[in-house]
Homo-oligomer: A and B are copies of this chain.
Amino acid sequence: MSVKTLPDAPGVGGPHDRRRPGNRLGALRRAPHTGLTAVLVVVVVATALRTDAFATDTNVINILRQVSVTAVIAAGLTLLMTAGGMDFSMGSNVSVTTALGAQLLSHGHSTLFTVVASILLATVIGLVNGLVVTFTNVAPFVVTLATATLLDGVALLVLDSVSVSIGTRMFSLGNDKILGIPYLLVLAVLVLVATALVMRFTVFGRDAYAIGGNEHVARLSGINVTARKLTLYAVTGALSGLAGLMLLSRLGSSSPGTGGLSLQLTAVAAVVIGGTSLAGGHGTVIGTVLGVVLLGVVANALNLLQVSSNYQQVSVGGVLLVAAIANEVHKARVARH
């Protein structure tokens, strides 16, 4: 029996925020994610001062569209990790979905059919992860690391190792705008808002916190933990599918290596930088959004500032480190007050 004993540190953005009246500045300093926000602001201001190309409408829209796919994955991951789960195979699920979507479209199937089939497959993949995690007691990270490898292979099989182009099918989703806002961004925002609402205002979402906080207690309190977990894994699967279709529409093709581990790691980095706990029980969509945007802004800034490609990874790593520390130091200060 492994009983999880979390530290008592009141989680940032957790279900409780003790606000005291008065002292606005202090309240601000105690608001969640101040550290992360500060890092983001510094990066934005520093970049804007050094290049005019940064703070333009088109560039901002650009950044937001670029992070849309990651944001959808990160949203699912936030929910799942809050419930103490982990899906390391979402990136590979994206690979499979883009591959399948591309094949279906290029074989002349209708867009509707393709969308439904792809998301269905992705959901089933998520569900299978959930079944293994729930019924075998293997740690979710381990299970999904294995399925990630497996799915990478499946994606190759579906593509038969070549690139498959979808021509101009789904072009509008990946490239057009509505009221000046790219469809992809609209989708990502919808997903994020929905996730935030679910986590905060539904019993399903609160159950996720409870399961992540102490699974035994959750089960004893009458929560159908098994069903909840299966649903959570299925939802992350479905969101991977959606992200896959978004990516496909943006790229116009699927090729070996689309999605996969690099996408997965970006999403994981965004989520954990945003303060979602690897051990479960704590997590906020706001934090994840900040994490996703920070990563997008940094990549964009490094390009615009012409940082040499050798220095880019160093810079990204450095910013990640600083952001993680800032978020944590801030949390600690809040706890001390």
State whether A143 and B324 are in contact (beta carbons under 8 Å apart), knowing that A136-B329, A150-B317, A329-B136 are contacts in the complex. Answer: yes
A147→B321 contact, CB < 8 A: yes
- Please give the distance in Å from A37's CB to the nearest CB on chain B: 17
List which A304-329 residues lie within 8 A (CB) of chain B: 309-318, 320-321, 324-325, 327-329
- Please give the distance in Å from A269's CB to the nearest CB on chain B: 6
Q: A117-146 CB contact bits vs B (8 Å, 1 = yes)? A: 000000000000000100011110111011
A142→B329 contact, CB < 8 A: no
State whether A138 and B324 are in contact (beta carbons under 8 Å apart), knowing that A145-B269, A151-B317, A318-B150 are contacts in the complex. Answer: yes
A132→B272 contact, CB < 8 A: no
Q: Find A157's partner among B138, B160, B310 (CB 8 Å cutoff).
A: B310
A310→B146 contact, CB < 8 A: no
Contacting residues, chain B, for A315 (C-beta < 8 A) = 153
Contacting residues, chain B, for A166 (C-beta < 8 A) = none
Does A184 have its Cβ within 8 Å of any Cβ on chain B?
no
Contacting residues, chain B, for A153 (C-beta < 8 A) = 310-317
From A142, A161, A310, residue with most partner B Cβ within 10 Å: A142
- A325, B147: Cα distance in complex, Å: 12
With both beta carbons as reference points, the residue of chain B lying nearest to A160 in the complex is identified as: B310
Q: Find A147's partner among B152, B214, B317 (CB 8 Å cutoff).
A: B317
- A220, B316: Cα distance in complex, Å: 38
Does A273 have its Cβ within 8 Å of any Cβ on chain B?
yes
A141→B317 contact, CB < 8 A: no
Does A172 have its Cβ within 8 Å of any Cβ on chain B?
no
State whether A150 and B310 are in contact (beta carbons under 8 Å apart), knowing that A139-B278, A272-B145, A278-B141 are contacts in the complex. Answer: no
Contacting residues, chain B, for A132 (C-beta < 8 A) = 321, 325
- Please give the distance in Å from A299's CB to the nearest CB on chain B: 12
B-binding residues in A (CB < 8 A): 2, 5, 132, 136-139, 141-143, 145-154, 156-157, 160-161, 214, 261, 265, 268-269, 272-273, 277-279, 309-318, 320-321, 324-325, 327-329, 332
